[in-house]
Chains A and B, each alone.
Chain A
Amino acid sequence: MAEFAQYIINGLSQGGTYALIALGYTMVFGILQLINFAHGEVYMLGAFVGYYASKYIVNHQLNERINLLVNGAADQASTSSAILTAILIILLAMVTCALIGFLIERLAYRPLRSSPRINLLITAVGVSLFFQYSGQLLFGSDPKAYPDLFENLEPWTFGSDDNAIFLEPLKVFVFGTAITLMLILRHVIFHTRLGRAMRAVSFNHDLASLMGIPTDRVIAATFMMGSALAGAAGVMVAMTYPKVEPLMGSLPGLKAFCAAVLGGIGNVTGAVLGSFILGVAEALLSGYGTPTYKDALAFAILILILLIKPSGLLGVHRTEKV
């Protein structure tokens, strides 16, 4: 029983990271009907921003200054100072990735707005691969160890020795952040003017611009928000699994896309739901079955859902107009 609970916890934690990436995919697809292949690479770049930022902090003893601020003593680390540092790094990564997302959209996608969809798709693949390979050149293809800010925190234990369930504070942090960001996004989309504009553009691009909505700006804002979320995901994954390397983005990116489709692409809640389902399914498959098919599971789920209910679990079926 404890084993099962542990798998569920592992799955939810993994699902949280997929959710952050999937949110970006689903927003961009909703508004542009484009699968932004490069999204996984934005996530990777976020992780690297976090890596270099934390190295900088450690090398320049900034973490001691933070400790001083929070605890009154330079060498006294604690949960709160660790969280503060983490939040700073996450914010930095979010801002950087938002900028990167803006540039990608502006340089690679906007010129092709009126081209056939297949051209956009090919370009997206090209951008994704470009980031992967230049990442290998710039950062080196060897994996880098991420400094562990939460190092000294012991996992919370429930139950006794044999039936112990281990819950790491870091994983709770990641899960909580994913939910928080999802709620913030939901608020933006449904309760702000920008959100209304985004929904209008996703419904009918030309009509929205006729109504006076600055579509280019709305699309750019969508990209930036999605990329910021991916950046945050990158940092949080790097904190949880402290290894970053330039190719780390492609597979999680694809899996997050499968999760978004599972939940209903274009639907924010669906993306999160799909991600958690995928995360738990992977954990259960790894634990009770063979982990080696884990990577194939996401694609198998994708194929199944596209065959059975293409609009996804929470999606609404849209007829294709001629």
Chain B
Amino acid sequence: MFLRNFSIVLILAASFGHSSAFADTIKIGEVGSMTGSEATFGISTHEGIELAIKEQNAKGGVKGKKLELISVDNQGKPEEAAIGTTKLVTQDKVVAVLGEVASSRSLAMAPIAQKNKIPMISPSSTNPKVTTIGDYIFRVCFIDPFQGSVMAKFASETLKAKKVAVLRDVKSDYSLGLSDFFKESFIKSGGEIVVEQTYSSGDVDFNSQLTSIRAKKPDAIFVPGYYTEVGLIAKQARKLGIKAALLGGDGWDSDKLYEIGGKSLNNGYFSNHYSKDDQSPAVQSFVKNYKAAYNKVPDGLAAMGYDAALVLISAMESTKSASPKEIRDAVAKIKDFQAVTGRISIDEKRNANKPAVILEIKDGKFLYKSTVNP
């Protein structure tokens, strides 16, 4: 019995680590949450990356070699992200890793990428800590301090709001970080946070929190959460008679938001990485190609995945031999790179310097409202 089990273990161990069929491709690794409770984020990002790579391969690849994307699913768990990264770096020998969306998983991946000196680009992790792990870790999105201040400025300057209530997701470090920075900015500009309420992602009933918010009569409510809850929050808020504007961050970005929230989202605004109604040719061709390939409209995460891949590809092209160290140095030098989500410049902290757009929700459409530059 024991011997049987032991031999099973041996056989399985021996079956790991097979080299890929094509010896002369450039291997790029990707770690994402393709299954589990955050599957939609991982899948969107993956599709964006895949599209960029496919398009580049159609143009002949990089330096004459085709790009091969090796994706690893982490089920939404940090330790799976870590072991997946180890596998990509040591077994599959990728030259760079793209990932992850959630900061908690990026934090698990980064030490491994750094230790093995493989550049890692996160498409959408906004926790400032991620890039501090080492000089091989980059991101192509703005960080929470910037996004928080964007909405704070919008609230006080455009909406002329003096009193704002905050309703944040206590289970999400993204939500916590964003609300902290929003509060800081808003108070600095003279506003008042009248009440702070919390919920947990997965909740469906927000009536108690909203009732307590209603009593304080805010001009606007900041809800830096994910679309999965925001839709319901908007609905319940309107049904309780709350007419104040609803403000949010890039976690709102999804088709499903309107599906769930419907008309109650009118008078809602959120900051995002890009607007699919942006008429610039880069955005429009991306939207068109994505729709053709995946039969749906790309959300912000797909655009970020696409851009992360674009940045990586551009960096690789400017190197001599696409080795990890050269790629790393090239990424660090990226300035004014025209991507789908704006002009990206990587600063000395390895974060992206780029504008945010503010979108207004009206009758099911995300309307472009304004751009805020850093």
B31 at the binding interface (Cβ < 8 Å) = no
Alpha-carbon distance A201/B102, docked complex (angstroms): 52
Q: In the complex, which residues of chain B have a beta carbon less than 8 angstroms from the beta carbon of A155? A: 239
B199 at the binding interface (Cβ < 8 Å) = yes
Residue of B nearest to A286 (CB): B208
Interface 9-residue window, one of B209-217, B275-283, B341-349 = B209-217
| B 197-239 to A, binary, CB cutoff 8 A, 1 in contact else 0 | 1111011110111011001000000000000100110010001
B39 at the binding interface (Cβ < 8 Å) = yes
Known: A155-B239, A291-B198, A292-B170. A241 touches B39 (CB 8 A): no
B35 at the binding interface (Cβ < 8 Å) = yes
Alpha-carbon distance A245/B229, docked complex (angstroms): 12
From residue A263, how far is it (CB to closest CB) to chain B in Å?
21
Q: In the complex, which residues of chain A have a beta carbon less than 8 angstroms from the beta carbon of B35? A: 136, 141
Determine whether the beta carbon of A295 is less than 8 Å from that of B200: yes
Determine whether the beta carbon of A247 is less than 8 Å from that of B241: no
Q: In the complex, which residues of chain A have a beta carbon less than 8 angstroms from the beta carbon of B204? A: 237, 241, 243, 248
Residue of B nearest to A288 (CB): B212
Determine whether the beta carbon of B212 is less than 8 Å from that of A243: no
CB contact between B208 and one of A247, A251, A283 (< 8 Å): that residue: A283
Alpha-carbon distance A283/B207, docked complex (angstroms): 8
Determine whether the beta carbon of A242 is less than 8 Å from that of B260: yes
| B 143-159 to A, binary, CB cutoff 8 A, 1 in contact else 0 | 00000000000000000
B20 at the binding interface (Cβ < 8 Å) = no
Q: Kindly state the interface size class of chain B when it binds its partner.
A: 20 to 34
Q: For residues 271 through 317 of chain A, which have their beta carbon under 8 Å from a beta carbon of chain B?
A: 282-284, 286-288, 290-292, 294-295
| B 228-266 to A, binary, CB cutoff 8 A, 1 in contact else 0 | 100110010001110000000000000010011010000
Known: A283-B208, A287-B211, A291-B199. A145 touches B37 (CB 8 A): no
CB contact between A241 and one of B40, B232, B241 (< 8 Å): that residue: B232
Which of B200, B204, B235, B260 has the largest count of A CB atoms less than 10 A from its CB? B204
User: Chain A: how many interface residues by the 8 Å CB criterion?
Assistant: 37
Determine whether the beta carbon of B235 is less than 8 Å from that of A10: no
B60 at the binding interface (Cβ < 8 Å) = no
Determine whether the beta carbon of A166 is less than 8 Å from that of B239: yes
B374 at the binding interface (Cβ < 8 Å) = no
B36 at the binding interface (Cβ < 8 Å) = yes
Q: In the complex, which residues of chain B have a beta carbon less than 8 angstroms from the beta carbon of A143? A: 228, 256, 260
Determine whether the beta carbon of B259 is less than 8 Å from that of A145: yes
Alpha-carbon distance A239/B42, docked complex (angstroms): 28
Chain A residues in contact with chain B, CB under 8 A?
3, 6-7, 10, 14, 136, 140-143, 145, 148, 151, 155, 157, 164, 166, 168, 237, 241-243, 245, 247-248, 251, 282-284, 286-288, 290-292, 294-295
Can you give 28 contacting A-B residue pairs, CB < 8 Å?
A: A3-B212, A3-B215, A10-B205, A141-B35, A141-B37, A142-B39, A142-B40, A142-B256, A145-B260, A151-B262, A155-B239, A164-B241, A166-B239, A168-B239, A242-B232, A242-B235, A243-B231, A243-B232, A247-B37, A283-B208, A287-B208, A288-B212, A291-B197, A291-B200, A292-B170, A292-B198, A292-B199, A294-B203
